[in-house]
Amino acid sequence: MVRLTPRIVAIFLIEKTSSGSNFVFQWPSQPQVHFQDSPRSPEDVSVAMDILKLEDEEVQEFDGAADESHVLGYEKGFLANMLSPRPELCNQKFEMWVDGLTFLGCPVHIGPSGEWVKRKNPPKNVEVSSLVDPFGIKEDSTSAASANLSELKINQSKPTSSMSLFHVVFVLNVPTASIYRPTINTMYESIVVKLVTGLKYEQAKRNYVENECKHIRKMNERYTNQRIPFDDFCREIPLHSNLASILVTTYEALIHLHTAYLEINHSINITLLWPMTVSVSSLDKLELQERSPTILASQTIFNEEEPSLIEPSVAPYWSLLLLQDLESIMKRLPLSRNSLLASFITEARPTSTFTDIANSLGISLSECFLLAKHLIHWRKAIAIPPLLIRNTYVTSPTADLSKLESDARLFARTFPSLPSLPTFLAILSFKPRPFVSIIPSKDHESTYLEMLAWLCRRNWVYEQNSYIYVCVTPEIKEKVKEAIESQSSEDQDPQLLEQLRQDDGRESLIIDPHSASLLEQKWVQAIAYEKGPELASLFLSVVKYFNGRYALQTIWISEGLPRKSMRNVLNEYQHYLVRWYSW
């Protein structure tokens, strides 16, 4: 699966007043674009002009660095007009592809009666806390404390506005067609909509966006008159404008794939995050440096294509590993408003399964999964198999060795009675073995499991899983061949005979028993009945998982088998099984 990244080039702020459209602000001051396809195409510009009813003389191109009047090779006045669509195209997704760049946003236009948002009466007796996301959008705690329910509605006496439209535009460069649509949709749903919602709320309530635009334009004029270099005054503006600072913070967070914590007008707190898995199942050499903080885990209970889906037979037996310490997560959580989530976070331990947590809190498993997915989305946790002392854990190839010295000091402060971090890593990298073998005594189990969770959280170790392939020996092939050839010609399957003719009789692996060919199915049957009927039936029930993709730890859970039965299959058929180890 291709890893999606924001591919952001710049962020623009556009407004429209009675005097026309204005290009208010941009970040960065000098956007960098590296096109992989053809350069600027006149046809793209022509289409944009037709849609927006622009005249030819309004289009002026500029090939060079950005300045007071140009950016990305375009005159800013032209961009302001192009990015100020007609009212019927506003308050919805805006997407325009021009010259290899995508201009994405949600232009907000004032309503016919002078309102910025449609007022909806919330249900009576609804607390403010029930309307906010603990890691999403929420009013500042100080203002919320003094606010009553009527203040949640947009004040009936609306502030007058001379601005009719504002548009925060995200300029993206998505060079590959296969990832274009997923990237655009992710940016719009996860970033654009949330940011615009907060800005629209503050504009409706306090004329925030309009006042900020006026303030930025005045600063632009002053810096231009004082002949201050363009790059210098671009850096100065975010220091004196809350909105400009918000756009800069958003851009930098997307560039570095960090979380953006925004405070709009000192009134609304918004958290923006580019959705990205904190664990991966495979790495190539080029990705090792890029994903050094990424946890290795090939098994997951959540479907990446459909996040709402889970593996129902396995998920109850999985666990949750918090990726930050409890205090750090609680600090950003309004505890009085989210007691269930707070209790869930406190109860979640990597040694307890979701079933254990649900039983302890007295909630259903579906509620438990909902809370877990919320924390996973905000990169506060990851779902893992429970940490068990009988499992094997080894050092991670994606561990960031540059952090060894600092992490060693932190490890020593956290676990002062244990050997040093380098000592433990050396032990775990020497020879894979069950974790219990390095625990001195039963009294040390809880401390060592806490240490193991610490190492997993900081990506120093991962659980080593076992994977199985079916190996077909020449003896099995010969036995099946003789059985087929002994049949009468009427009973022989032509397709099976052709597959038999093409096989060279040497030892081979069955890559996927679940979609095996006719001949491979015969081999699997022959292997199964090398043992008694009871074991053969057990083998045939689990052989579909022997394709190198299912960890042994998940197979017995998926089939509802006792561990002892799974061990019997592995022991009795070991001559026909190839085992390999990975994360």
Distance CA 214, CA 304 (A): 44
Could you tell me the pLDDT band of residue 103, with boundaries at 50, 70 and 90? very high
> What is the distance of C-alpha 385 from the center of its chain?
20
Considering the domain boundaries, does residue 570 fall inside one? yes
> Among candidates 547, 570, 554, which has minimal Cα distance to 470?
547
Are 401 and 501 contained in the same domain?
Answer: no
Are 317 and 377 contained in the same domain?
Answer: yes
Residue 229 is which amino acid? Answer: P
Considering the domain boundaries, does residue 151 fall inside one? no
Tell whether the model's pLDDT for residue 289 goes beyond 60.
no
Are 367 and 252 contained in the same domain?
Answer: no
Are 481 and 567 contained in the same domain?
Answer: yes
Distance CA 385, CA 320 (A): 8
Considering the domain boundaries, does residue 59 fall inside one? no
pLDDT tens per residue across span 202-215: 999 899 999 999 99
Are 79 and 18 contained in the same domain?
Answer: yes
148: phi then psi, degrees, rounded to nearest 5: -105, 180
> Among candidates 244, 215, 220, 217, which has minimal Cα distance to 233?
220
Domain that holds residue 322: 310-384
Are 375 and 432 contained in the same domain?
Answer: no
Considering the domain boundaries, does residue 420 fall inside one? yes
Are 355 and 449 contained in the same domain?
Answer: no
> How many separate domains does the chain show?
4
pLDDT tens per residue across span 383-398: 888 899 988 999 887 7
pLDDT tens per residue across span 396-424: 877 888 899 999 999 999 999 999 999 99
The pLDDT, as a whole number, for residue 288 is 39
First to last CA, the chain: 17
Tell whether the model's pLDDT for residue 199 goes beyond 80.
yes
Average pLDDT over residues 97-118: 88
User: Which residues have a Cβ under 8 Å from the Cβ of 495 and sit 6 or more positions away?
Assistant: 518
Are 109 and 252 contained in the same domain?
Answer: yes
pLDDT tens per residue across span 303-322: 444 444 444 555 788 889 99
| CA distances for 90 relative to 83, 459, 462, angstroms | 10, 45, 49
Tell whether the model's pLDDT for residue 140 goes beyond 70.
no
Residue showing tokens 């020593």: 412
For residue 163, give both structure tokens: 């601005």
Instruction: Give this prediction's pTM.
Output: 0.60
Tell whether the model's pLDDT for residue 298 goes beyond 90.
no
Considering the domain boundaries, does residue 256 fall inside one? yes
Considering the domain boundaries, does residue 40 fall inside one? no
- Taken as a whole, the chain contains a residue count of 583
Are 70 and 216 contained in the same domain?
Answer: yes
Are 258 and 318 contained in the same domain?
Answer: no
Distance CA 445, CA 351 (A): 12
The pLDDT, as a whole number, for residue 397 is 79
Tell whether the model's pLDDT for residue 528 goes beyond 60.
yes
321 HSE (CA, 13 A, CB side): 24
Q: Which residue has the higher pLDDT, 80 or 488?
A: 80
- The mean-pLDDT minimum among 58-67, 441-450, 510-519 falls in 58-67
Q: Where are the alpha helices (DSSP H) in 468-562?
A: 474-485, 494-502, 518-528, 533-542, 552-559
